[in-house]
Structure 1
Amino acid sequence: MQFFNSRMRILGIIPFLFFLFFSSSVLAQEITILDSDSGIPVVNIAIYNKDKSKTTISDQNGKCDLEVFERNEKITFKHISYEVYTTTKAQIGKKGNRVYLSLKAEELQEVVMSVSKWEQQKKHVPQKIESIDAQSISIATPQTSADLLQTSGKVFVQKSQLGGGSPMIRGFATNRLLLSVDGVRMNNAIFRGGNIQNVISIDPFTVKNTEVIFGPGSVIYGSDAIGGVMNFFTKNPHFSFTDSLAVSGRVDYRFASANNENTVHADLNLGKQKWASYTSFTYNNFDDLVMGKHGPDSYLRSNFAARRNGTDVLLENGDSRKQVTSGYDQFNFLQKVTYRPNTTWKYDLGLHYSETSDFSRYDRLIRPDNSGDGLRSAEWFYGPQKWFMGNLQITKKGKNKFYDGVKLTTAYQHFEESRNERGFQDDERFTSQEKVDALSVNLDFENKKIGDLRLYYGAEYIFNKVHSQGSQKNIVSNETIDAASRYPDGATWQTFAGYINGEYQLKPNFTLLSGARYSQVWVDAQFDKTFYPFPFDEADLITGAFTGSLGFSWFPKADLQVTLNGSTGFRAPNIDDIGKIFDSEPGSVVVPNPELEPEYAYNAEMGIRKNFKDKLVLKGAAYYTYLVDALVRRDFTFNGESEIMFHGELSNVQAIQNAAKAYVYGFEFGLDAYFNDNWAVSSNLTLTEGTEEDDDGMDSPARHAAPTFADVHLIWKNQKVKADFFLNYNGEINYADLALSERSKAYIYASDSDGNPYSPSWYTLNFRSQYQISNALKATMSLENITNQRYRTYSSGIVAPGTNLILSLGYSF
């Protein structure tokens, strides 16, 4: 009996012990805190509840015990370098007792990739580089990557139509700027001197960060990088740091009232310890854009061309602020796969695809006819703009006799575009269709073995082949015949180059950066004389270019930085330069010119940055660029004739020629003030002046020298909310300072008191905000152009949006 009682007492204790064990296991919850990007444990993370009555801190292994907290109590994780994160013990338990923290944007900006293709401390780089991080992109909710650049306040963007965006940097644009995606050159052999819209093929939802190099970048990037380089780095797949499959993703919806935009986006990440996958889809639907109420009446769209009963007629626009036929659709897809078998090797595969619907070139649809009462064109639209890129990158890290890191990047790109135009009450529609196949191979090395000298060097090969066809269709009979193509069909452009770049830390506060590159470029084009009696059969150009850079970054005091940099850049003639046949403007036609040489730029810049006790940061830069043998459009002769018939109209003959010099200089200022943890002010101001000089010594304003532009932001933020009230400003360009090529486009400009075209100054007041509803749910609301100004950005065909309400909702899982 005693044994039985003893046994019962023991059995009675077991549930009590089990309860104690279970309770302690729930309360004593050990977790690991990791960096979301690298998976490395994060030390010294402060963890506390709402009133900070309970606190703990992560150890050297990123671990800590949450025993003091209740199961469903709100817990905050905070670190000076990471974004604040709030959750509960229960939610952490569901995620395997792991917490992933993201670096703050300002911490990410300290390292840049663009100058050497390897990570470098930004403070060591003498060139001006601006980073646009994922957090800035998230709150700005840009419609396209062109808008992404514009919202930075440091890049000017021109738009000929809603489906467009042509950046201007330091007086240069289009084929004098270089676009790069994940380290792959996007510029191809038919990038033109006129405004281009290829940047909209990059989906802003997939952009992790963007780095903009101001000034020549030819040492690393070769031809075209005269005015600057825009590097877009897309999001990478995330690995799992446990044995199980990590699944995460995001769904977004965005609406904008000015063009009735509806955008949906979804992405999915699958990760194991050695491989990871990232998949993204985005669909945009943009309706016709509505301009503002207050501004020049000449910007209004009073009528538009339409086809009625087999003939073209002018219809009155019921809403003259609505820019009829400016809307379009776009689809973007991205698939990235990363395989990392060990800490030495990494393999990255990326597949990018973008396609638009047809979209109108709005500035051509509002051109008046010779009488001034009607319209010149009944139709002028681009066919679907398509871009595919497949790139494979293999990276090896580790000590070697010749390198500490090596990276092989191979890529294939396919571009498609077409132009379709038909004159008012003309039954003939002229179409040109272009396709470009582009192959590239880059081999880049990093070597930091020689004391304080860190070397970067490599080689590059690029091959482009252009396919071009022309046709002419009678829209009444549906009969289609061949017509002259825009470019010589089958033309090729290729380049081979080698470079070396060195970073030498002469003293702890003084870094010297220098580099050199030699590029060889081959152009081959065969001209078809079926439609035009060309006085030549082919263009066979072989050109070489040597470029270099030298600069330093100096900290005379810990809170003062001075930079000085000199560099050269070049642009070799491409297929668009030597072989284009195109109606460049009313009454003029561009003809081929196979006798061209590269243009060269010589640049000097100085920068200064002063930090006043982390409360006020002032930044300034001044630069001067001299361009020689500039490739510009000038009057020409074709078989001895200064005028020829083109599309049924007698047209002045022009061609791209090495016929000018250009001088561009300017100043850039920035200010960041931090009043406390909640309030801050940020401001930027850019002034640019540019002049072109022809062979006769005659000066004229440079076409791509943007007007003075500035922004001022008043920012308030706390743990969950960020609000930004800001002003955007553009200065005036009067008639005397308007480029000669722009003066002939009076229909896109306002008229001054003398009746001459000019670009008026304008400003907008704007507000944007973001609310972190939970760790998973984020809402963004913006109200742009609050005072409903009617304005046209300089050189743009389409008028900017009026008051625009933008709503966005994103859910992460």
Structure 2
Amino acid sequence: MKKVFFYMGVIIFSYGVFFYEPELVNADSLAEVKTAETVVSATRTTRDLAEVPASVSLVTEQEIQRSGSTSIADLLKDIPGVEVSDQSLAGAKRINIRAESGARVLIMIDGQKISEQKSMDGAPLLIDPFVIQKIEVIKGPASVLYGSEAIGGAVNIITKKGGKKVFQAAGNIIYDSSTGGFTENVSAFGKYEKYNYRISGTHSKQGDRETPDGKLKESDSNMKNISGFFGYDTDKLAMGAGLEHYTSEVDSPPIMVGGSPFNLNLPEWSRNKADFFVDLKSVSSSLLKIHMDLYWQKVKKDFEQKMTLNMGPIGNYSSTMSTTNDQKSYGINTQADFSPADTHYIIFGYSFNHDKLDADSVVDFDYLGGRMLPPPPMGPPGPSTDPVLTLYKASISTHAIYLQDEWMLPSDFTLTIGGRQTWVRSELEDTNDPNVKKDKVNGSQPVFSFGVNWGGINNLVLRGLFSQGYRFPDLNKLFIGTAHGGSVTLANPDLDPEKSNNFEIGARFDNGKLKLDVAGFMNFAKDYITRRNIGAGVAKYSNVNKAETRGIEAYLAYNIKSVNLTPYLSATCMKRKYEGKNFSTWKTNTPQFSGRAGIKYETEFTSFPASLWVDMWMRASDKAEDEAFSGDVSTTSGWGTANFAIGSELGKKRNYSISLNVKNIFDKAYTTSKNALEEPGIHAVAMLGFKF
């Protein structure tokens, strides 16, 4: 597999040498080809990407459109340092950042978090790709600005708002041959004087996945989304309100656990949201902006788990566990932006979030036969075949204040210092579980960050950053526990927050031709919460693990304007170490090398109104080894795929678009290190779109 990465590098280098253009480029021509990429997530205020001290990647609306992807996670999988995890659910993928699981990655929509209080896998990506304007990914701890769950990083999904005319419309239809599935979207949007609006609807129905080894039965999914936005915008005031209804149904292929069939499905995973924001702009010469947003959100998950249990001499039983998690959240974020002097830009904010969880579980056993002992009262009883209902009502409230100062220093240095103080109150309010008692847990945590940029060379910015992260235990780990997956894990109200310290350096260079973004990082985490075995088939959540992660992330592209070609490389080199009581290993299911290398071609036709773009690329990953506490090592093999995409925008105003993505051209059978399901074989994704 290392040869694959060698050849990827040779391809990029060869294109750069062969097409190298030594002539000088004047500043005026650069101004025509360079477009500043602005981000808001890294500093909670609008900044050029080159100015932020953190490692940030951006996925644009054009990249989303051309990918043909209907999965948010798949839009992000080629970002250096990002991996996708499916947890055996093809329609409900999560994001890992720098080897941190989805539970340690904060997911936000327009800066408002999606909470998940009863999952080991983190917040779901319950959002329609067609409403997205861009996605900003912060890699590394972002807890100073965004709090808990951002210990590994943060993903901010920024949605589309109004248009430029009174009435505009857009629509897309996508066909994916790997599932035989269609996705349809239509939206209407516009702007009249100071008012703007958008209405959007999407439907997606994906069948079972086709792989080189055959069809993955029960890997299908369905999704529907309806959303609306209405806003008002002037030079001094902007405000807006949004409504969203997202619902999905996700199936999981049956697997074997302990030699017995195991099946799980999610008949419903939905999210409903209402939100409002207001921005006061240019309040005074020193008070530049006041922002406030508030939201209400409900996430509902119906989860069904079925398995067969061989209970020895008392017979065989089928077990069905049906769980409904109903989580209601509301929150408010306020922020003021100050500039008391030309050399300082200060933000001060307050954040509040409240999650209320109602979790109901019904366990039902059915006798299947095979009993070898006499029935009661002569022999021992088996599990009760009467359904057992267990109820939990719990809540968590979080208050936080944060402060950040960007200080412009002499000699082209910029210093960014930030701090955050968070207070958390968690409570199990009610339960009928006789093994669990009602309880309250209070906690607090300060975190800090320190970053510096230097831009003393034209088109080059060097950066360094120290940042801290933390994650408070969720309600499931504190009070409820879980019996999913065929084993029991008990809750632990004495858990401490997970904590991390991150050090990184990096460089960004962009002269309109060569674009480079590289970062090296080391992260030290402690008090990781994991399952600790305390008896046969029983575990308990405990703070037992430490983790050390180190790596290099790089993105390189070179625009050869004379032939309209852009070779590019996106790569990650990373290692991760776990340390626990009497246990230490670097084999942590983390591939050392992974990335994407390719070449793009793009041109505008002069004979008729159309443009053409082509992208050819290879995706590859090194093997990943995972060592268990017992010393057993499992290995996910390295892999590489070849892919091709072609598309065109047509019409005088480029109102129509068509694209075809052909992926895994050589029908490679493979599974990524973080996924449980085999990836699709050779398949095509075709897209037709319009806008006017």
Pair in the same fold by TM > 0.5: yes
In structure 1, the residue matched to 2:380 is none
1:554 paired with 2:454, answer yes
Aligned to 1:416: 300
Aligned with residue 149 of structure 1, among 44, 54, 76: 76
Of the three residues 231, 236, 242, the one matched with 1:344 is 236
- Say if 2:597 is the partner of 1:709: no
Partner of 2:623: 732
Change (3 A) 1:547 1:495: same
Work out whether 1:328 is the aligned partner of 2:328.
no
Q: Does 1:354 pair with 2:274? A: no
Of 153, 165, 172, 2:93 maps to 165
1:451 deviation in Å?
A: 2.4
Residue 348 (structure 2) aligned to one of 457, 461, 464:
457
1:179 to 102, 107, 128: 107
Match of 2:35 among 107, 122, 130: 107
Cα displacement (A) at 1:619:
3.0
Q: What's the counterpart of residue 687 of structure 1?
A: 573
Instruction: Select the residue among 666, 672, 682 that pairs with 1:793.
Output: 672
Partner SS state of residue 637, structure 2:
coil
Aligned residue among 144, 157, 168 for 1:219:
144
Q: CA, structure 1 residues 235+385, in 2 after alignment: closer, same or farther (shift >3 Å)?
A: same
Partner of 2:26: none
Secondary structure of residue in 1 paired with 2:431: coil
1:292-351 superposed Cα distances (whole Å, 9 cap, x missing partner): 2xxxxxxx4xxxxxxxxxxxxxxxxxxxx10011112110111111023x4211111111
Partner SS for 1:146: helix
* Equivalent residue for 1:504, pick from 407, 411, 417: 407
Work out whether residues 116 and 122 of structure 2, in 8 Å CA contact, stay in contact via their aligned partners in 1. Answer: no
Q: Secondary structure at the match of 1:367?
A: strand
- Could you report, residue by residue, the CA deviation over 1:119-148 in whole angstroms, capped at 9, with x for unpaired residues? 123222111111100011111111211111
Q: TM-score, normalised by structure 2?
A: 0.87
Could you tell me whether the CA contact under 8 Å between 2:528 and 2:545 is conserved in 1?
Answer: yes
CA distance in 2, matches of 1:628, 1:591: 21
* TM superposition shift of 1:416: 0.4
The corresponding residue for 1:594 is: 493
Cα distance in 1 for residues equivalent to 2:123 and 2:290: 33
SS in 1 for 2:476: helix
Alignment-derived partner of residue 540 in structure 2: 655
Distance in structure 2 (CA, Å) of the matches to 1:480 and 1:807: 50
Deviation of 1:474 after TM superposition, in Å, equals: 6.8
Structure 2 SS opposite 1:138: helix
AA aligned to 1:283 is H
| Per-residue deviation, residues 473-532 of structure 1 (Å, max 9, x unmatched) | 57899x9965354xx6220111101001111111362211111110001111146354x4
**1:620 equivalenced with 2:545 (yes/no):** no
1:144-293, aligned counterparts within 5 Å?
A: 144-152=71-79, 154-159=81-86, 160-190=88-118, 192-193=119-120, 195-196=121-122, 198-199=124-125, 201-240=126-165, 246-292=166-212
**Equivalent-residue separation in structure 2 for 1:173 and 1:702 (angstroms):** 16
1:122 alignment partner AA: L
- 2:55 is matched with 128
Matches within 5 A, 1:410-809: 410-424=294-308, 426-473=317-364, 483=388, 485=390, 489-507=392-410, 509-526=412-429, 528=431, 530=433, 532-534=434-436, 537-586=437-486, 588-611=487-510, 614-636=512-534, 642-643=535-536, 652-676=537-561, 678-696=564-582, 698-701=583-586, 703=588, 705-719=590-604, 720-734=611-625, 738-740=626-628, 757-774=634-651, 775-809=654-688
* More contact order relative to length (CA 8 Å, sep ≥ 6): 2
1:743–1:757 CA contact under 8 A, matched in 2: no
Q: Report the alpha carbon displacement of residue 446 of structure 1 after superposing the two structures with TM.
A: 1.0
> Aligned AA for 2:261?
R
Give the conservation status (yes or no) of the 8 Å contact 2:36–2:49. Answer: no
Question: Is the alpha carbon distance of 1:153 and 1:137 closer, same or farther for their aligned partners in structure 2, counting shifts above 3 Å?
Answer: farther
Counterpart of 1:552 in 2: which secondary structure? strand
- Amino acid of the structure 2 residue aligned with 1:549: S
Q: Is the 1:417–1:433 contact (alpha carbons within 8 Å) kept by the matching residues of 2? A: yes
Contact 1:123 1:553 in 2 (8 A): no
- Tell me by how many angstroms 1:352 deviates: 1.8
Instruction: Please report how far the alpha carbon of residue 108 of structure 1 lies from its aligned counterpart in structure 2 after TM superposition.
Output: 5.3
Partner Cα distance (2:359, 2:130) in 1: 32
Q: CA deviation at 1:583?
A: 3.1
C-alpha contact 2:587 2:624 (8 A) present in aligned 1: no
Shift of residue 258, structure 1, vs aligned partner: 0.8
The alpha carbon displacement at 1:116 in A equals 2.9
Cα offsets for 1:101-130 (capped at 9, x unmatched): xxx9x7252x21002322123222111111
1:597-631 residue CA offsets vs partner (Å, 9 max, x unmatched): 111111100002345x6433333211111112221
- Residues 122 and 369 (structure 1), Cα distance of their counterparts in 2 relative to 1, 3 Å cut: closer
State how many pairs are aligned: 633
SS at match of 2:478: helix
Within the alignment, does 1:393 sit opposite 2:277 as a pair?
Answer: yes
User: Quick one: which amino acid aligns to residue 433 of structure 1?
Assistant: T
Given that 2:221 and 2:248 are in contact with CA atoms closer than 8 Å, whether structure 1 keeps it comes out as: yes
Does the CA-based 8 Å contact 1:455-1:500 persist in structure 2? yes
Q: Distance in 2 between matches of 1:480 and 1:331?
A: 37
Q: Cα 1:205–1:376, aligned 2, differ >3 Å: closer, same or farther?
A: same
Q: Residues 428 and 670 from structure 1, CA distance in 2 versus in 1: closer, same or farther, beyond 3 angstroms?
A: closer
- The answer for the alignment partner of 2:44 in structure 1 is 117
Amino acid at match of 1:171: A
Check conservation: 1:239, 1:273, Cα contact below 8 A. Answer: no
Letter in 2 for 1:811: F
CA–CA distance in structure 2, aligned partners of residues 380 and 399 of structure 1? 54
CA pair 108-568 structure 1, distance change in 2 beyond 3 A:
same
Query: Which structure has the greater CA radius of gyration?
Result: 1
Instruction: Give CA deviations for 1:349-370 in whole Å, capped at 9, x if unaligned.
Output: 111221012x2233xx122553
SS at match of 1:175: helix
Deviation of the 1:585 alpha carbon: 4.2
CA distance in structure 1 between the partners assigned to 2:232 and 2:512 by the alignment:
41
**Structure 1 portions without partners, runs of 5+:** 1-78, 83-103, 241-245, 293-299, 301-320, 637-641, 644-651, 745-755
**Which whole-Å CA distance do the structure 2 matches of 1:208 and 1:614 have between them?**
23
Provide the C-alpha distance between the structure 2 equivalents of 1:729 and 1:197, rounded to a whole number of angstroms: 27
| Aligned-residue CA RMSD (Å) | 2.5
Structure 1 residues 681-722: Cα deviation after superposition (integer angstroms, max 9, x where no partner): 1101112211121134x2134756455211002100002011
In 2, the alpha carbon distance for the partners of 1:462 and 1:704 equals 34
CA distance in 2, matches of 1:147, 1:681: 21
- Distance in structure 1 (CA, Å) of the matches to 2:418 and 2:39: 17
User: What is the identity, as a one-letter code, of the residue corresponding to 2:557?
Assistant: D
Partner of 2:25: none
Give the AA of the match of 2:58: S
1:483 partner amino acid: V
The aligned residue for residue 59 of structure 1 is none
> What TM-score, normalized by structure 1, do the two folds share?
0.74
Amino acid at match of 1:346: A
Return the offset for 1:81: 7.3
Question: 1:262 touches 1:285 (CA, 8 Å); kept in 2?
Answer: yes
* Correspondence for 2:313: none
Structure 2 spans left out of the alignment, 5+ residues: 1-28, 309-315, 369-383, 605-610
CA distance in 2, matches of 1:197, 1:517: 22
Deviation at 1:381, TM superposition (A): 0.9
Sort the Cα spacing of 1:676 and 1:456 in 2 relative to 1 into closer, same or farther, 3 A: same
